[in-house]
């Protein structure tokens, strides 16, 4: 049945339009524009949404549905002590919370020791068994041998939170394996905290990273890189990754290179903020810890360089369904405007992630739509006031 949505305003992924209406038929948007120009076909129904802003479903750029907040259970214990069945049960709840928070798509960047459970979650959502966002899954993620965790006594080998691979043969095999099992994209850890005294240092060589990207690309997959050091970011950028996650120690030089190469930054400011608070930082009372200060410095450099920003919070480090925390902190702590962040979370992420069928409100695109109270282009907290969630024309939440 056709549905005509009549909100106070429509944010189309770029701009806000007062007095627009949107027509949905089956799983697609078939018309959008001034209400007087959008007519309801016979047999359809109208949904009046007074006081609400209708916008594209939000796109979460960095999530881990199979993790839960580290102040509940440390990461090591989640990987080593929680069964896959327990983690999938949690992930099922996390998927629903994410969708009901207005995020109709999410990049899930690593199962963190839960095998290919993210592929199963994606299938369950796609088949309508459980509610959740449309997922882009990275499956196991790739790490250089010895660099990742958990780490216990040196004479004990324990399951790792990602797949170890090294050298030409090993890397090609691992990338192909993950793609064969259902990876939509490949995630690689270009550096990690395995240097002297736990400092972050590069992991894979330039040649290895380039090979990862070439192997994935030949199968139509992009690569995203966890990288916080300048050298890790440089190698990943030169290798041709599509996004760099975190980028904590990035400087003017590396952000200039990313800009030249068309590599986007997903800064995950909310994750660092959450971890600092788990470690005892009282935000707003205590001085900023060194890592938070450094994040502000690197973000200023990224913004000055004009690097494209993806919106993603590393949800799982903090609570699923609280995804808007990243958007709020980008505005409140880092000086972006609500409009900039809203564009990132809709049309911006859709473009970076090659999702041509969503992220905007226009005819022919998927009917993934969210309505919120107030004006999210002026007030970043409005994205929390979710009153309607539609995915593929199906209502999951309505006033």
Tell me: domain 3-56+359-397, CATH 3.40.50.300, correct?
Answer: no
Burial of 199 from C-beta contacts in 10 A (0-12 / 13-18 / 19+): exposed
β-bridge mates for residue 79, sequence order = none
Of the pLDDT bands very low, low, confident and very high (cuts 50, 70, 90), residue 263 is very high
Share above pLDDT 90 across residues of the chain, in percent, rounded to a whole number: 100
**Average pLDDT rounded to a whole number, residues 296-319:** 98
Region 305-333 average pLDDT = 98
| The pLDDT of residue 12 | 98
322 confidence band (pLDDT: 50, 70, 90): very high
Residue 180 sits at the vertex; the CA angle it makes with 176 and 183, to the nearest 5 degrees, is 90
Give the mean pLDDT of 92-98.
Answer: 98
In the Cβ-directed half-sphere of 187, how many Cα atoms lie within 13 Å?
Answer: 25
Q: What is the pLDDT of residues 116-128, one digit of tens each?
A: 999 999 999 999 9
CB atoms within 10 A of CB 157: 8
Instruction: Decide: 345 and 358 in contact? Cβ < 8 Å.
Output: no
Mean pLDDT of 312-339: 98
pLDDT digits (tens, 9 = 90+) for 154-168: 999 999 999 999 999
Q: Taking residues 350-375, report their average pLDDT.
A: 98
Query: For the residues 166-184, what does the mean pLDDT come to?
Result: 97
Which superfamily is assigned to 58-352 in CATH? Metal-dependent hydrolases (3.20.20.140)
- Note the pLDDT tens digit of each residue in 21-73: 999 999 999 999 999 999 999 999 999 999 999 999 999 999 999 999 999 99
Q: What is the pLDDT of residues 229-252, one digit of tens each?
A: 999 999 999 999 999 999 999 999
Looking at residue 204, what is its pLDDT?
98
Domain ranges for the chain: 3-56+359-397, 58-352
Two structure tokens written together for 344 = 């990132």
């Amino acid at each position: 049945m056709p549905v005509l949505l009549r909100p106070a305003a429509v944010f189309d992924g770029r701009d806000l339009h007062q007095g627009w209406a949107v027509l949905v038929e089956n799983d697609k948007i078939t018309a959008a524009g001034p209400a007087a120009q959008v007519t309801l076909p016979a047999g359809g129904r109208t949904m009046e949404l007074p006081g609400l802003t209708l916008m594209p479903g939000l796109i979460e750029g960095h999530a881990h549905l199979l993790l839960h907040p580290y102040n509940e259970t440390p990461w090591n214990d989640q990987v080593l002590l929680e069964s896959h069945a327990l983690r999938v049960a949690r992930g099922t709840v996390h998927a629903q919370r994410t969708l009901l928070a207005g995020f109709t798509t999410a990049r899930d960047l690593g199962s963190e020791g839960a095998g290919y459970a993210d592929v199963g979650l994606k299938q369950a959502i796609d088949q309508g068994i459980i509610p959740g966002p449309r997922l882009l899954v990275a499956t196991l993620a790739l790490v250089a041998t010895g660099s990742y965790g958990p780490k216990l006594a040196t004479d004990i080998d324990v399951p790792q939170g990602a797949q170890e691979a090294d050298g030409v043969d090993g890397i090609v095999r691992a990338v192909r394996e993950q793609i064969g099992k259902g990876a939509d994209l490949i995630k690689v850890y270009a550096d990690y905290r395995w240097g002297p005294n736990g400092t972050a240092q590069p992991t894979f060589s330039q040649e290895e990273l380039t090979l990862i990207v070439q192997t994935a690309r030949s199968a139509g997959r992009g690569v995203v890189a966890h990288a916080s050091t300048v050298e890790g970011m440089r190698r990943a950028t030169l290798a041709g990754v599509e996004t760099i996650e975190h980028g904590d120690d990035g400087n003017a030089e590396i952000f200039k290179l990313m800009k030249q190469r068309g590599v986007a930054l997903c800064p995950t400011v909310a994750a660092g903020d959450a971890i600092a608070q788990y470690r005892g930082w009282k935000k707003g009372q205590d001085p900023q810890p060194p890592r938070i200060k450094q994040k502000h410095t690197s973000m200023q450099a990224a913004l000055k360089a004009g690097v494209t920003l993806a919106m993603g919070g590393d949800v799982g480090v903090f609570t699923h369904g609280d995804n808007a925390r990243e958007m709020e902190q980008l505005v409140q702590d880092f000086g972006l405007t609500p409009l900039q962040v809203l564009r990132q979370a809709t049309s911006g992420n859709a473009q970076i992630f090659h999702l041509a069928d969503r992220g905007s409100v226009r005819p022919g695109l998927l009917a993934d739509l969210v309505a919120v109270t107030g004006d999210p282009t002026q007030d970043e907290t409005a994205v929390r006031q979710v009153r309607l969630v539609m995915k593929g024309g199906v209502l999951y939440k309505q006033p």
